[in-house]
Structure 1
């Protein structure tokens, strides 16, 4: 092996200041020897090294750096200056560039380091200072306190902080030899050293660095440094500045960080304090702010998207040039600081990451169009998502916060679903951002999803509905209904972000939710059974309605049914009951139908061809027990019963709303929902103002009338605040818009049917009352309301014989014999509304000769004839009082849903002027009045349906009728003698009333007793009724069995004895208390009702054959 000389150090220059000696021999040298060695090395010789690292001291690196920087002749000076500049630039631009650079303070004199041999050695061997120190420290050696800079790098997916440099009292900073500066652009990984940074900086960064260097040089002279050292380092700083671009417009106060501990700790030793604040660019508007739609601008905090990994690549822009907020850029805000800044800015901006917008899993419905009422991306622009080769409907796996910034239509345009070759689904979200320099830029985000079996929501879906399905200015009443279809944990659930009132309840195995929102819901965030968000359903914006019309609305709130008419210009018409619901999910049709009828608002009212009138029935099913003030829909809703499924005996079904004492809460809920529903239909039709007209029976007590008008006022006042409609309601003295049912009915016949009311009686026969008005020369002379109507002349009769309903009316749905009075009447009303017309047409004639049918017809005929007999009494008394001068009975115009019972009294099931009952009624008028007999017809409505008359009459204007104030003159005419006993000052004061006189009602008095000692006129009536049957040879209506034709009660003593007993029962229950709370009834009518009860029990003894 040949000998070869190997150089451990570069060879000496020929003009070296060092003389050689015998190799291997130690020589004693002067203190300048190391300096002479360094300056005598030939660095350009072959095999030259990158750094000097062989100086034998622990402080070799900072001392070598000092030596080179201070020696202008040193051959490595330019390389060291590049590294020095590179580290200063890294410190200066650390915040702006988001460099993961931190600092640690090393106090060599601390007890901690003095207890470690290495630390003690460092302290003992610390360099001397004198001519090259840039600062001094009080009571400390300047080398005693130093800072080590650490740079965070990732190694094998683990982040580590590695030392990359330190501070020095003589050079400010010293970069470590062969440190790892990660992705710092001016770190040369191949050479393992920093380079001069200028070529890697843009103009803005150079100008900011120039400003930072100026501040550094200005501060150097303030900390007791050596002039030679200060001049040297200041010169190097100035040279560095000259190599940089500058911007004279920059203001120093805008250029430096406000973070006193950006590097993790404050750097505050001597002149090093100038390193403590890196630069920041003058704040610019955010580059990553989401550009919201015009209608959403300013309604939410700005949304800022933080995506430091991908955004610089997508836009081709350095991260330090992509601004976030408050001077932070994508470069300066490190991922580990995200949570801190999100919380810090929580009241200013909404800082989000991609994962905040995308949900981790994609859930889907196993139906192609599983969300018919929702908004999904256009099928023409999106791939059909398939699972097991079947098209499915996705829940959009995005955060619903996006709807705070875009309308559903705008958001869905930014969404694209694409099927990938690997079977995954890619969801692409294109967001418009403010962009660099405020040049708006689109930014695409995407996430790929596996279609998993466990994320399949199946084919059976919960019911989700919204009412009403429109939008108009001022409307703030939107209701969302959810029913899980008893699917349990399999059903997804929804939340309504803007709900002001929401109520969850369970019925059986079903889970329900009812919510009210001030605006139409734009999105339903969906959750699983554990409450985890799994996606969202976007809502298509409903039609915007312009309001430019006025309506007049007439409401006839009846005992059995309620009717509504509207007037547009000059044409009255029934309220059009449109379907205003939005069906969101493709749930089973039967499930939807049943759920809406029982717990929400039906999509369609039945029967669909003639939805009006609606039943006066309320349901409180699913009511919120926590509501002190009861709310419509939540606590009570109009109920649209189906004949086959209606169970009025259920606790939540409320009937007889108009008359049952103590249930004002229920009728108020009913008319609240009714008024809300009418308002919605009006708003959907572009109505800006509604003039309401309402009717009431004159049989209402003073307190009932006052309370009824007050209820409407409160309800309509409240609706004015939430519907955007001006609601004009009648005052107690507004005779134009607050009318008795008798007057409204008369106006219908006069102004709509164009009948003359020269000398006429109008009767509106409802379920509970018959409202009577008598007219002479188009002027009203008397009006009254009697509690004898459809329920008395039919419902209460057949209630005594439920088998008749089952076998004759062929209705087998529901335990008629087990229903209490109110429930029975309500259920029968529904049957009559839906089925009676067909029954009369197809069945009535077939059983005309059956004993049970003949008996029913007789009792019904007595009831109607008795009402007419009472009208005859009225005509007689009015003649006696001089209210009119005519000697004759009047034609009768009769309407109301009770008028249909006239058809039952005709064998053909179709009442006409030729019907025998018409002749009987005419004779009853003449018999009671004493006027000559004449064949006067009873006229039914011919342009509308029964029960339309009052509602239609309410909206008619410019009546030909003359209505005067007859409050004092329209007191009830008794028709039968009675004795009223008032309690005045603790004394009984009797008031004897004759049959042909009026009943005085003093609201201030307490009625102690109401007696009808003897029935006189009623027996006369029954006798006259039977006379007519005989005299006119009536064949369709039959006499009572065993009845003796005599007005003397002794001749039919048993019948009248039982009637008197039934009458006393009525008087005891209904005719005691404060006068203003009592519904006064004519004694004749009270006696007639008692008689009908007795006859009904006798009829019930007739056996009805079973079918």
Structure 2
């Protein structure tokens, strides 16, 4: 088939043919006539036609295409023209590498032959859209555009711009490098960029109208611009600006209407879509930007829709931008793969890191049939942005997989929350992963001893210590670095390597190192529970020659010897015969000897492993620690063992080190119990001289001032005579106050319904207090059955629609259950209850009910205590309780035989709950003599006479648990006399009273020999460190926090509820879910 080099003319063509081979002069309009007469219908790809016989062929072809609507490939030329205008408009926004050079042909023609040729063949200016005032042909002054220093186009007085026919626009999104032409720009621009382009085009239109160009030509170009604007479908224009850089393209574009193209749209700084959204308590950190083009793919967005920083999008981002930003340190830019470590090291044992926080999937990892424990292979920088809990539960996921050859791999996936493209309506996750082969050479066979003390968080507490001991394992284990350690003391004894560090914050991870100090993985550490301080202790210190004893007066309510409490975070699981000796000799013992009665403790100091600090710079833990000797291992002859600390005048530094560690240890125990203030009370022997007395007092004064600065606790320095007394006076004080006590009693009425229990307390026919409590049938029974509807079918097999019950929630469920309770419960209690006496599920249910009702009695006791404190209740007995209402029938469920009477054994438990919280006795208590040798002086130091105070005529509810409402603190014994109008935040910082209640509940079951109500099987009384207790209180605090988050707004719109009751209900929900297996 014959293929013509050029298209033929149409049959009705009005262009006269010349003689072949002979040049023929024609008027300028001839080119337009030729273009209009071309019969171009070739199949396949459309190619630009540049066969116009002139050196100005390309710009004239573009001119013909734009000014002649019959030009055969006009639409294709318009696409190229629009593409180049878009480049100029968004040059700053996208960071395009486009520059311009001015070419003045009139100035060049006399020195450059090519310029002279161009000048002599200048096109006619009939279609020019601007004129020069000096009648200079506008074609004389042109601008040449370059892209990455290669020419790609020029300006034209008739078309503004002329893209080169085969210019190379590498990297431009709407440039098709295969077809060597622009694509329509619309699909490559986001909505903001389209609006910016319209703004720029509007400005260009305005500029064109200022330069007296050919009216028809101006109308044509302006029309094309309007068409371009219309195709962008922009409905509104934000307040954009043009750049202030007048030489953005290296030279100003200032010839005629070309001035409208001189200033690109100014880059608009926007919130970075790739900024990491940190955890809530990590707000004040330098922005971390994750740079990865896969983000756009992951979010189903185009690159230009993903903003990075300073107005740059992923489409416009260049390596030099990242380098500049990282140098300025305004932000941190990381490639996604930089979030991973190069290798995965792992320990070939399961459960070897009991104090660590393992990410999701870590427990499922197996190598050669053995469960393993990984060191987490992530960049430590992530801990600056996420809490360990967020990392472990939301960010990091580990999954065991295999490659095509069967090699075991661990896929580590990071779900990084980024700001996203939802305009602040919620973050968007970006998922990135790396696969690590499980290799024999990456096995770690042994772990060192790793400890952190204390294992809590308190605002202002800056006394954290870390400990490392390699047990002479060398290369068989790993070394560590504690992040943000203020002081690090590393030392060796023989082949044993030790490290003691001081930190001002509890570490969120431990950096594991190889022998070359390279990071090989991380150990995540869960954040200890924040302890809110509001209590007050009086601490009595009887500093003795052989033994030192401590007593505490807790909030003027409980006086007791300081007890054992493990404040260690045991990070690694190491054999006891390795761990315990290392802690006793070089760190802080987990417990003193004997374990069951740590106080009084031996007045002995060890300086083993001390630093080389000067005497005036020594510090506890690093240079001296309390030593708890055992009979076999105690070697007082060793140089590091220090005794006779009380009386010696030559080892005053050792004396002070012992007291510093003692005070720090006591303060930590106090902080762990929520104590905000410690009033120290000290005794000294009468034999002390005045100087020794003053020196002893001055030593305590200095160390307590320092402790106040680093622990967040107010330390009240003891003063004579109340808190700095002789041992003999303190001893006598013990006997003077230990026998004292005051019991107060009254009458209480409870109207218990389905939703509330209405309480009134009376004495001698006078109303002392009344309140309505949201603790009744729905909370004490219905909610538990709702959690486990199948149990109801177990109780009553006649229920056939249990699938319906399972779908009901809240009030709807309660209503259905109320009907069953009304029609069937009495019969069930009378005839069937006894069959379930030994049923564990039933025992669990009535235990829940008993805890709830006993908690109500406990709160009534708290009310009685407050009323006693206020002087409103003056009797010395607890009240009788009268209970009625629909919900009161729940008591039958708790009673043997299904019938509650005055003889039911549960009565004793209720009375005891009131007695515990009210500090009033049910029966007369005998006087008791001390049988605790060595306790008298210490105890006498903290005994004080209790005083009652009135709270005025108002009758707000009584808290029952410490709380903070919009910054206003209320103690558990206070009334919620909130002074504000709006509640913005509600906090119950600790559950001290709830824990006291639950302990008292279990103690009561045991003391009273109650058999119908079984105790919580795993709960340990007065053992807050037990695994079950810790989990229980953590879950309760979380559930309570969820409830408190909803308490906001005008005080008149919020129903008052005692914090103790809210906390009790949270506990019931947690225990209910446990009972229901949820």
> What TM-score, normalized to structure 1?
0.60
Find the aligned partners of 1:111 and 1:467 in 2 and give their Cα distance: 82
Find the aligned partners of 2:441 and 2:199 in 1 and give their Cα distance: 58
**Cα deviation 1:588-633 (Å, max 9, x = unaligned):** 4333223222221011212324433323222233334356533222
Structure 1 pair 391–63 and aligned structure 2 pair: CA distance change class (3 A): same
**Structure 2 partner of 1:76:** 73
Aligned length: 747
Q: 1:300: how far off?
A: 2.2
Find the aligned partners of 2:944 and 2:35 in 1 and give their Cα distance: 117
Q: 1:504: how far off?
A: 3.6
Cα RMSD, aligned residues only: 4.1
Structure 2 residue matching 1:13: 3-state secondary structure = coil
Q: 1:354: how far off?
A: 1.4
The answer to whether 1:374 aligns with 2:356 is: yes
**Structure 2 partner of 1:419:** 400
2:508 pairs with one of 503, 516, 522: 522
1:181-220 superposed matches below 5 A: 187=175, 192-198=180-186, 204-220=192-208
**Structure 1 partner of 2:571:** 584
Check conservation: 1:136, 1:142, Cα contact below 8 A.
no
1:600-999 superposed matches below 5 A: 600-626=587-613, 628-731=616-719, 734-745=720-731, 947-956=934-943
1:146 pairs with one of 143, 148, 165: 143
Structure 2 residue matching 1:450: 3-state secondary structure = strand
Find the aligned partners of 1:389 and 1:118 in 2 and give their Cα distance: 83
Find the aligned partners of 2:608 and 2:131 in 1 and give their Cα distance: 85
Find the aligned partners of 2:419 and 2:712 in 1 and give their Cα distance: 37
Structure 1 pair 327–257 and aligned structure 2 pair: CA distance change class (3 A): farther
Q: 1:949: how far off?
A: 4.7
Structure 2 residue matching 1:424: 3-state secondary structure = strand
Structure 1 residue matching 2:584: 3-state secondary structure = helix
Structure 1 pair 236–543 and aligned structure 2 pair: CA distance change class (3 A): closer
Further displaced range: 6-15 or 219-228: 219-228
Q: 1:213: how far off?
A: 0.7
Structure 1 pair 509–716 and aligned structure 2 pair: CA distance change class (3 A): same
Find the aligned partners of 1:46 and 1:373 in 2 and give their Cα distance: 76
Q: 1:708: how far off?
A: 0.6
Further displaced range: 38-47 or 527-536: 38-47
Check conservation: 2:240, 2:265, Cα contact below 8 A.
no
**Structure 2 partner of 1:845:** none
2:299 pairs with one of 298, 315, 318: 315
Structure 2 residue matching 1:167: 3-state secondary structure = strand
Check conservation: 2:28, 2:124, Cα contact below 8 A.
no
Check conservation: 1:135, 1:142, Cα contact below 8 A.
no
**Structure 2 partner of 1:387:** 367
The answer to whether 1:331 aligns with 2:327 is: no
Find the aligned partners of 2:608 and 2:96 in 1 and give their Cα distance: 63
Find the aligned partners of 2:577 and 2:150 in 1 and give their Cα distance: 69
**Structure 2 partner of 1:341:** 325
Check conservation: 1:465, 1:584, Cα contact below 8 A.
yes
1:43 pairs with one of 39, 45, 53: 39
Structure 1 residue matching 2:594: 3-state secondary structure = coil
Check conservation: 2:564, 2:596, Cα contact below 8 A.
no
2:529 pairs with one of 543, 553, 573: 543
2:101 pairs with one of 100, 105, 108: 105
Q: 1:672: how far off?
A: 0.8
**Structure 2 partner of 1:430:** 415
Gaps of 5+ in 1: 152-160, 755-940, 960-1107
Work out which of the two has the higher radius of gyration on C-alpha atoms and give 1 or 2: 1
The answer to whether 1:402 aligns with 2:388 is: no
Structure 2 residue matching 1:295: 3-state secondary structure = helix
Find the aligned partners of 1:649 and 1:45 in 2 and give their Cα distance: 110
> What TM-score, normalized to structure 2?
0.62
Q: 1:481: how far off?
A: 1.8
Structure 1 pair 15–601 and aligned structure 2 pair: CA distance change class (3 A): same
Further displaced range: 314-323 or 661-670: 314-323
**Cα deviation 1:387-433 (Å, max 9, x = unaligned):** 33322111222233333343322221112111123222112222333
Structure 1 pair 18–129 and aligned structure 2 pair: CA distance change class (3 A): closer
Check conservation: 2:544, 2:646, Cα contact below 8 A.
yes
Find the aligned partners of 1:207 and 1:453 in 2 and give their Cα distance: 55
Gaps of 5+ in 2: 741-927, 947-1078
Find the aligned partners of 2:684 and 2:137 in 1 and give their Cα distance: 101
Check conservation: 2:551, 2:559, Cα contact below 8 A.
yes
The answer to whether 1:7 aligns with 2:11 is: no
**Cα deviation 1:904-929 (Å, max 9, x = unaligned):** xxxxxxxxxxxxxxxxxxxxxxxxxx
The answer to whether 1:294 aligns with 2:275 is: no
**Cα deviation 1:126-174 (Å, max 9, x = unaligned):** 74575537476999996566333427xxxxxxxxx87543434442222
Find the aligned partners of 2:723 and 2:684 in 1 and give their Cα distance: 11
**Cα deviation 1:206-227 (Å, max 9, x = unaligned):** 4332211111223346679777
2:344 pairs with one of 344, 359, 362: 362
2:164 pairs with one of 159, 173, 176: 176
**Cα deviation 1:804-830 (Å, max 9, x = unaligned):** xxxxxxxxxxxxxxxxxxxxxxxxxxx
Find the aligned partners of 2:26 and 2:9 in 1 and give their Cα distance: 18
Q: 1:29: how far off?
A: 3.5
Further displaced range: 688-697 or 138-147: 138-147
2:437 pairs with one of 451, 454, 464: 451
Further displaced range: 703-712 or 584-593: 584-593
**Structure 1 partner of 2:1054:** none
**Structure 2 partner of 1:53:** 50
Further displaced range: 695-704 or 67-76: 67-76
Q: 1:376: how far off?
A: 1.0
